[in-house]
A and B are shown apart, each in its own frame.
Chain A
Amino acid sequence: MDENRLSVTITTPQKKWVLDDIISVTAPGVMGSFQVLSQHAPLMTQLEIGEIKVEKEGSTELYATAGGFLEVLKNNVSLLLESCEKGLEIDSARAENSAERARNRLKNRSDEIDIPRAEMALARALNRIRIANKVK
């Protein structure tokens, strides 16, 4: 394999993507967004809610994630994510719905509602909507 190219594996509990011939990966790290190019040192790090950009020769793909982990080892980038959606496959209507639900929950605050959880749900939904709009 070309040593100036990366092989990227995105693994979720329900799905797996294997992408070859990748120039760079940009991911939302906990300490800010960062980019991985070929021949990167071995790395293990944590990801936040955000977008993952996979750059190919002549095209880029966007993925939405709710956070997870990233490992780099010998030009192999493994992303371990609990949820991940390819930008083009995001169901905007569903994302809008969950954003609306989270907003309502935050509006009618009561003791039963787990506020941090509702906030996280809102952040996830907004992230998906943003990325869906970007790729359209």
Chain B
Amino acid sequence: MATLREIRRRINSIKSTQQITRAMKMVAAAKLRKAQDQIFAARPYAYKIDEMIRHLIFQLEFVENPLLAIRPTQRVTLVVVTADRGLCGAFNSHIIKRTLRQIDEHRDKEVSLVCIGRKGYDFFRTRNYPVEHRYINIYNQLEYPIAQEITAYLLQKYAREETDMVEIVYNEFKNAIQQTIVVEKYLPLTADEFSGELKYVDYIFEPDKITLLDSLLPKHLNLQTWRILLESNAAEQGARMTAMESATDNAGELIQDLTLHYNKARQAAITKEISEIVGGAEALKFE
């Protein structure tokens, strides 16, 4: 049986672990707040740009844009959005598993990967998957230019016909304890995405409708990338919060068990000592 000192040492070590997990939980909660605020802040912009594109598509008799054109799919790019860091439950491993399944689904095509977040990158790089580009350590300072950079990269690949289709695998933020994995088609776009109730407005378009649509669509993609980064970031913080909360709870349970154990052992030791003393005294009586 473990000695008293050993048990005490274990209790102390678990207590300090618990302190760390509790702190991590609180940090994650604060970051989640910020991530949610960013999601809310992006909504008016998303609404407006969508409305403008809808007006344009609605008023164009003939929509022709390379981003809206479907071509035979030979090469697929999968964008894998994971976290930079671990300790957030199954957040990263679920994404990786889903990506592996998606790679398998595209086995008749040529698949390449773009990794956002260190965890996914580490996994696929070490297993010799065709990772052609990566964006790591981006979540600490999440600003719009990162989304623009990623979009520019994907658009360039698509324009050069180095890829025929781009899909993104990411965690969508439901609420603090729930994330859903989403596989979303990113490119090409479809005009159907921009349908909805609309009232005809006799706009003056400057320079002209086609030029406007040509420059609006990449901005729309910038925003999609941004939205996905924000969703994934919020989902990550939520997952970490939940994981750290249950870690803190588990540590609490362990401490309780060990304390009980410790008290029992201490009492047993005292009882033993007393009976030894009593026994010794009894023995002396008869001398």
Determine if B129 is an interface residue (Cβ-Cβ < 8 Å).
Answer: no
A contact face: mostly helix, strand, loop, or mixed: strand
**Known contacts A44-B205, A46-B206, A46-B215; A78/B222 CB under 8 A:** no
Determine if B52 is an interface residue (Cβ-Cβ < 8 Å).
Answer: yes
Band of interface residues on B: 20 to 34
Determine if B148 is an interface residue (Cβ-Cβ < 8 Å).
Answer: yes
Determine if B212 is an interface residue (Cβ-Cβ < 8 Å).
Answer: yes
Once the chains bind, are A82 and B144 in contact (CB under 8 Å)? Answer: yes
Determine if B196 is an interface residue (Cβ-Cβ < 8 Å).
Answer: no
Q: How far is the CB of A130 from chain B (nearest CB, A)?
A: 20
Interface residues of A in 15-39 (CB under 8 A from B): 15-16, 29-31
Contacts of B206 in A (CB 8 A): 29-31, 43-46
CA separation between A13 and B46, bound complex, in Å? 7
Interface hub of A11, A43, A71, A117 (most chain B Cβ within 10 A): A11
Band of interface residues on A: 20 to 34
Once the chains bind, are B42 and A14 in contact (CB under 8 Å)? Answer: yes
Once the chains bind, are A11 and B44 in contact (CB under 8 Å)? Answer: yes
Once the chains bind, are A13 and B52 in contact (CB under 8 Å)? Answer: no
CA separation between A15 and B223, bound complex, in Å? 13
Once the chains bind, are A80 and B49 in contact (CB under 8 Å)? Answer: yes
* Residue in A11, A41, A80, A117 whose CB lies within 8 Å of B204: A41
Once the chains bind, are B45 and A13 in contact (CB under 8 Å)? Answer: yes
Determine if B38 is an interface residue (Cβ-Cβ < 8 Å).
Answer: yes
Once the chains bind, are A14 and B48 in contact (CB under 8 Å)? Answer: no
Once the chains bind, are B45 and A80 in contact (CB under 8 Å)? Answer: yes
Contacts of A16 in B (CB 8 A): 41, 44-45
Determine if B284 is an interface residue (Cβ-Cβ < 8 Å).
Answer: no
CA separation between A71 and B45, bound complex, in Å? 13
Determine if B280 is an interface residue (Cβ-Cβ < 8 Å).
Answer: no
Once the chains bind, are A15 and B41 in contact (CB under 8 Å)? Answer: yes
Once the chains bind, are A30 and B52 in contact (CB under 8 Å)? Answer: no
* Residue in B44, B46, B55 whose CB lies within 8 Å of A44: B55
Task: Determine the residue in chain A with the shortest Cβ distance to B145.
Answer: A83
Q: How far is the CB of A51 from chain B (nearest CB, A)?
A: 19
Contacts of B219 in A (CB 8 A): 68-69, 80, 82
Determine if B173 is an interface residue (Cβ-Cβ < 8 Å).
Answer: no
Determine if B72 is an interface residue (Cβ-Cβ < 8 Å).
Answer: no
Determine if B279 is an interface residue (Cβ-Cβ < 8 Å).
Answer: no
Q: Return 6 A-B CB contacts under 8 Å, by A number.
A: A15-B41, A30-B207, A45-B206, A69-B49, A69-B52, A73-B201
Of all A-B residue pairs in the complex, the 7 with the closest CB atoms, nearest first, are A45-B206, A42-B203, A13-B45, A44-B203, A11-B45, A43-B204, A13-B42
Give B residues with C-beta under 8 Å from A.
38, 41-42, 44-46, 48-49, 52, 55-56, 143-144, 147-148, 152, 201-207, 211-212, 215-216, 219, 222-223, 226
